A and B are shown apart, each in its own frame.
Chain A
Amino acid sequence: MLEIHWGLPVIIYLFLGGLGAGAGVVSASVFLRSHAGDASEGAFDIARWGALIAPIPVIAGTGALVFELGSFAVGDMFRWINLFLTINLSPMSLGSWFLALFIGVSLCYAYTFLKSDAHSGDKHQAFRKMLAWVMVPLGIGVALYTGILLGAMPARPFWNSPILAMLFLISALSTGVASILLVRCVAHALGHKKADEYTGEGAQGTEESKYILAATDMLLISFEVLVVFLFIMYAHLTIGGVENAIDVILGGSLTSLFWFGFVVIGLIIPILIEMKYVLPRLLRQEHYSIPHAVELAACMLVIVGGFMLRYVVVIAGQLTGPVGI
């Protein structure tokens, strides 16, 4: 206890793994929801960007993980293979298998979208649709297990909460949405197919799908706020190790990072921004439009917040331990 055994590589992995899995789930859901891209060109475009993003952060995060392995540090590059020579009920074992499957499937899924003229009628469509159905449960599995991994240890009262995995899942989906909006925004700015180049229905569809994503993100963040509230309230209402551990964010060394770095920057500001643009459309059916710069800023804040959440949680869990002897 009180020593940091899992440092930056694990934090980066939990963050990137969640983000990639979230992007994959969102992409596949948007794709399936729009009748496999038939219903709207905009939805297909979102699914495409999500599919192209998904494997990259997950692979990068998994790559970072090996730097935390003791065996790697002594020059034994491939002892990690032992993970895949067995399977047991350890969250890390199940997670590794899920992760390997996700990386494989998401690469295939991304491949079906690779060509810049990919569209809903091309030759990959059937395969793409099949993969999308697999992407949803796999992605949720990967995002959930990052929380279960930490939650599985009674010896770590800060982590040992059933709602932590939920928090990580929601944060993964929300950072996934933000990464899609962000990359799409940047790609369009860099001269890819511009949103307003779509003709007639296409342009409408793009705005519509952007609205759906922003509204989804708003909903996700509000759930996240609720889950954070429950997490803290139940910890605070408990006695012993858990109550002691939660003190680290309620008046301990990580308090300002948690409240400012995660809650304000990652939740409150982005949700206020999204509400300003989403609510008029949601409540009064007004036209949805959001300036590029504001959209970019909101997405970046959500992503930074997602990182801060992983950072604070991973460190806090290790700074605190059981009380008494």
Chain B
Amino acid sequence: MKDPATQVSRRGLMKNLIATDRPKRYAMVIDTRRCIGCQACTVACKSENDVPLGESRSWVETIEKGNFPDVGRSFLPRLCNQCEKPGCVSVCPTGATYTRKEDGVVAINKEICIGCKYCILACPYGVRYLDPKTGSVDKCDFCLHRIEKGVVPACVNTCQGAARIFGDINDPSSAAAKMLETNSVSVLRHEMGTEPMVFYIGADHSDERYAERTGVYVRVETHRRQQKRV
């Protein structure tokens, strides 16, 4: 996607010298206009990946706003953003958390992970958890076991409204690449500089601070154990 000739920063130069070009770059585009908040992805993800009780790799937040009769309600599916500059990878002392060279997915080697929880603190999106069975940290890995076999992730497969679009954006003919080319998209907390690879169409970014600023009533429901948005 990136044209190396447009990268003029020194850091970019170093990066090009060190990193080999990725043959693939998996990404997800979430079209919130098509999401009805049914939580089918939440459930599919939990059962597909045997996620322990009380934890979640993916969840769908509800944002309610406005005062009757001028009200709105929208949904925000959440998962690991498979960041280009992941805070979790740079702090991992054992190398258990790493970015896959072949497709950019941020994965965890559970045999190596010692469960120090440094990465849980370093992720600005609160998507990591400690698996009480293995003592290692876990999170969404774009369903590696599925995509390596050429099958789409469980949440994408189950989404009734086709709100989740998954694909290799290095391939211009992929659905995900086309969505990125033809829509205005946003990412979550872009100011953190993590360069997420999960993009949203029509996401409602309002929260309590927005409510304070505008006087509009806003209520966010996370539908996960952590009742405050993290």
* Contact residues of B between 127 and 171, Cβ < 8 Å to A: 130-137
* Contact residues of B between 181 and 230, Cβ < 8 Å to A: 188-189, 191-193, 205, 207, 209, 226, 228-230
Cα A322 to Cα B205 with chains together (Å): 14
Contacts A70-B115, A153-B122, A155-B122: A83 and B94 contacting too (C-beta < 8 A)? yes
Interface size on A, residues (CB 8 A): 39
Which B residues touch A70, using CB under 8 A? Answer: 113-117, 130-131, 135-137
Contact between A82 and B229, CB atoms less than 8 A apart: no
Cα A322 to Cα B131 with chains together (Å): 24
* Contact residues of B between 82 and 116, Cβ < 8 Å to A: 87, 90-96, 112-116
Contact between A153 and B209, CB atoms less than 8 A apart: no
How near does chain A come to B75, taking the closest CB pair, in angstroms?
A: 13
Contact between A90 and B93, CB atoms less than 8 A apart: yes
Q: Does A199 contact B (CB under 8 A)?
A: no
The residue of chain A having its C-beta at the shortest distance from the C-beta of B203 within the complex is: A325
Contact between B123 and A71, CB atoms less than 8 A apart: no
How near does chain B come to A4, taking the closest CB pair, in angstroms?
A: 10
Q: Does B121 contact A (CB under 8 A)?
A: yes
Which A residues touch B87, using CB under 8 A? Answer: 153-155
Select which of B113, B122, B131, B189 is within 8 A of A324 by beta carbon. B189
Q: Does A255 contact B (CB under 8 A)?
A: no
Q: Does A1 contact B (CB under 8 A)?
A: yes
Which B residues touch A222, using CB under 8 A? Answer: none
Contact between A1 and B117, CB atoms less than 8 A apart: no
How near does chain B come to A90, taking the closest CB pair, in angstroms?
A: 4
Contact between A156 and B114, CB atoms less than 8 A apart: no
How near does chain A come to B211, taking the closest CB pair, in angstroms?
A: 12
Q: Does A88 contact B (CB under 8 A)?
A: yes
Cα A246 to Cα B13 with chains together (Å): 37
Contacts A322-B124, A324-B207, A325-B229: A72 and B118 contacting too (C-beta < 8 A)? no
Q: Does B79 contact A (CB under 8 A)?
A: no
Contact between B205 and A325, CB atoms less than 8 A apart: yes
Which A residues touch B137, using CB under 8 A? Answer: 70
Main secondary structure of the interface of A (DSSP, over half): loop
Contact between A152 and B230, CB atoms less than 8 A apart: no
Contacts A70-B130, A88-B93, A322-B124: A155 and B192 contacting too (C-beta < 8 A)? yes
* Contact residues of A between 225 and 270, Cβ < 8 Å to B: 240
Contact between B205 and A318, CB atoms less than 8 A apart: no
Contact between A71 and B91, CB atoms less than 8 A apart: no
Select which of A2, A3, A317, A325 is within 8 A of B207 by beta carbon. A325
Cα A1 to Cα B230 with chains together (Å): 5
Contact between A321 and B230, CB atoms less than 8 A apart: yes
Contacts A70-B137, A152-B122: A90 and B90 contacting too (C-beta < 8 A)? yes
Q: Does A91 contact B (CB under 8 A)?
A: yes
Cα A18 to Cα B95 with chains together (Å): 26
Contacts A5-B121, A156-B121: A322 and B192 contacting too (C-beta < 8 A)? yes
Which B residues touch A80, using CB under 8 A? Answer: 114
Interface centre among B192, B193, B205 (most CB of A within 10 A): B192
Chain A residues in the interface with B (C-beta under 8 A)? 1-3, 5-6, 68-74, 76, 79-80, 82-83, 85-86, 88-93, 96, 152-156, 240, 317-318, 321-325
> Can you name 12 extra interface pairs (CB under 8 A) apart from A2-B226, A5-B121, A322-B191?
A2-B228, A69-B116, A72-B115, A88-B92, A92-B93, A93-B93, A153-B91, A155-B121, A155-B124, A317-B121, A321-B126, A325-B189
Which are the 6 A-B pairs with shortest beta-carbon distances?
A70-B115, A74-B135, A155-B124, A92-B93, A93-B93, A71-B135
Chain B residues in the interface with A (C-beta under 8 A)? 76, 87, 90-96, 112-118, 120-124, 126, 130-137, 188-189, 191-193, 205, 207, 209, 226, 228-230
